[in-house]
Amino acid sequence: MNWLIVSPIILPLILACIMLILWRHPVWQRWIALAGMIALVGCGAGLFGVVYSNGVQSEQLAGYGAPYGITFVADLFSSIMVLASAILGTAVTVYSMTNIENRRESFGYYPLLHLLLLGVCGAFLTGDVFNLFVFFEIMLMASFVLLTLGGERGQMEGAIKYVTLNLISSAIFLAAVGILYGMTGTLNMADLSIQIAWLAENRPEELPLLTILAMMFLIAFGVKAAMFPLFFWLPASYHTPPPAVSAIFAALLTKVGVYSMARFFTLIFTHDIGSTHLIILVLAGFGMICGVLGAAAQNEFRRILAFHSVSQIGYMLMGIGLMVMLAHRDDEVAHHAVQMALAGTIIFVVHHLFVKPNLFLISGVVERIGGTGELKKLGGFYKSEPLLAIMFLISALSLAGIPPLSGFWAKFILVLAGLQLEQYFIVFIALLTGLLTLYSMVKIWAAAFWSDAPEESPVHNAAHMAHARHGLRRMIYPIAVIAVIIVLFGVFAGPIFDVAMEAAAQMLDPAAYLDAVRFEEFSPTLGRGEEVDS
């Protein structure tokens, strides 16, 4: 049973190795990569099923008990994230078969894709802070290479900013890990939760340092998540690689940052909710406004999408930030509303994990046919590609939050939670941002799909069109599948909300998480002592 927890890590690793051995055969790599992604979906679904029916699961690597060994924990949130990442990975793999040129394929695109998934799934499942750092680095290394694969000038310039800021964030993360270890003597997340609660109760003089530490982690994760003042690497780099890479980055990299933040600020740093979570809430509000205004000023398909990510991250953080109200109110209504806010974050993360990449994938098709991403030089796609236009509409309206699509429910739940907690200002910002998002999406729609193709556009060139349409089906099918998922997400919003509420309940009350981790007495001779319940 417990092999399921480590399977999302082992499977991509083994497949990446096999693809490395088959370095000279990129075509074989394609199909191995696709088979691996489908198997990963199976593992994710199995893990989700087990966690949903049996509660939080954990595994100690090599049998060394917590807090000494490395812990892997799967709760509802993490298993949902693994499943969603695997589904998206499958779609992007199919899309890549046409979108990624042969020269990029032969430099190990598919093994890198699997290594990226390995890092992402590992970060979702690990229960150890240092291990989280390691998985972050695996994910970053894979993303560095994916970003620069091909070596065009724009890619290099974008990569310098991306690499530098992420390395700074890693250095801050590492320093924070060191101080955390010095203060508590443990790096196991479950143990940290207990130790920090103990410190907060018995050593009030340590609290300021703990809050500083929480802020260091906030900055480290904030850079990865493209949180408000730390997001500049994202719009500078996301539009430079091929659209398939942009899509997988937009889907997974920032989500890992948000996931880690959600994990740390519900499980570990709950000693001073009044100040730490207030900062998150304020930054979330700024992020929403800044991202959407930045996008409004852009005139290129993928740059608009990249800037929008910043505002969408703001929504995700809003759900975490709303926990601040627990410091001021302790009644039943507040608890329920905070649980709903966290559920809103979870739903928003999953919704964004499908919608944003789908828009990037559509931008890839548009760029392939239209020859450019500049909105001014595009047009006529509604006439020539009606199906693509409909799929764009579904994704774009979902991003803007039009009912009954997935984005509407995600925003609706967050706004409802905000209203119940009487945080009217942030609710106002959230609604305003939704409106401005619609503006940007309409801008793309009007320029690329609705208007006529300009004279100089390559769509009038028959030879270009024949080349562009070759293998286009493999780009369209994944987009269609994700569009269907987005619609279904909206239709089955009720059951999804119930699952998200349960996941949020697990996060707000760490008892289930702590129970699942098997602590052990110190027994240095064997390394495996008597297992005792915490």
Partner 1 sequence: MSSLILRTAIRYLFPIIVLFSIFLLLRGHDEPGGGFIGGLLGATAFALFAIGYSVETSRRMLRFELHQLMGVGLLMATLSGVVGLILGEPFLSSAWIEIPIPGRPEPFKLATYLFFDIGVYLVVLSITLMIVYALAEE
Partner 2 sequence: MEIILAIVIGALYAAGLYLMMRRNLVKLIIGLVLLSQAANLLIFTAAGLRSRNAPLIPEGETYPVSDFADPLPQALILTAIVIGFGVIAFTLVLFHRAYQSTGTDDLDQMKATDT
The residues that touch partner 2, with contacts defined as CB under 8 A, are 130, 133-134, 137, 140-141, 144-145, 148, 151-154, 156-161, 163-164, 167-168, 170-172, 174-175, 177-179, 181-183, 185, 235-237, 239-240, 294, 297-298, 303, 307, 524-525
Burial 267-296 (b: 16+ CB within 10 A, else e): bbbbbbbeebbbebbebbbbbbbbbbebbe
CB of 51 to partner 1, least distance (A): 18
At 256, list the tokens. Answer: 């890992």
Half-sphere exposure of 220 (CA within 13 A, CB side): 23
Structural contact between residues 381 and 388, judged by C-beta atoms closer than 8 angstroms: yes
Task: Give the footprint of partner 1 on this chain (CB under 8 A).
Answer: 2-3, 6, 10, 13-14, 16-21, 23-24, 59-63, 108
Q: Are 147 and 245 in contact (CB under 8 A)?
A: yes
- Answer yes or no: are the C-beta atoms of 69 and 60 closer than 8 Å: yes
Cα of 525 vs its chain's centroid, Å: 41
Question: Smallest distance, Å, CB 112 to partner 1?
Answer: 12
Give the position of tokens 């969408």.
312
CB of 102 to partner 1, least distance (A): 17
**Which partner, partner 2, partner 1, none, binds residue 237 by CB below 5 to 8 Å per kind?**
partner 2
- H or E stretch at 532: strand 531-532
Query: How many whole angstroms separate alpha carbon 5 and alpha carbon 111?
Result: 22
Q: How far is the CB of 209 from partner 2 (least distance, A)?
A: 11
Q: Which is nearer to partner 2, 87 or 140 (CB)?
A: 140
Contact 135, 119 (CB under 8 A): yes
Contact of residue 20 among partner 1, partner 2, none (CB under 5-8 Å per partner type) = partner 1
Q: How far is the CB of 60 from partner 1 (least distance, A)?
A: 6
Q: Judged by CB, which is closer to partner 2: 7, or 143? A: 143
Q: Is 328 helix (H, G, I), strand (E, B) or coil?
A: coil
Cα 385 to chain centroid, rounded? 30
CA 143/CA 112 separation, integer angstroms: 8
Q: Which partner in partner 1, partner 2, none is near 54 (CB below 5 to 8 A by kind)?
A: none
Q: Point out which residues pair with 374 in neighbouring strands.
A: 300
Residue 110 CB, nearest distance to partner 1 (Å)?
A: 12
Closest approach, Cβ 35 to partner 2, in A, equals 29
Nearby residues of 359 by Cβ (< 8 Å), 6 or more positions away = 305, 392, 395, 396, 399
Nearer to partner 1, 61 or 484 (CB): 61
Partner touching 141 among partner 2, partner 1, none, CB below 5 to 8 Å by kind: partner 2
CA distance 63 to 529: 10
Q: What's the min distance (Å) between Cβ of 101 and partner 2?
A: 18
Among partner 1, partner 2, none, partner that 63 touches (CB below 5 to 8 angstroms by kind) = partner 1
Nearer to partner 1, 185 or 527 (CB): 527
> Pick from partner 2, partner 1, none: which does 298 bind, CB < 5 to 8 A by kind?
partner 2
Work out what residue 340 binds among partner 2, partner 1, none; the CB cut-off runs from 5 to 8 Å by kind: none
2 interacts with, out of partner 1, partner 2, none, CB within 5 to 8 A per kind = partner 1
State which residue, 17 or 171, has the beta carbon closest to partner 1.
17
Q: How far apart are CA 403 and CA 489, in angstroms?
A: 11
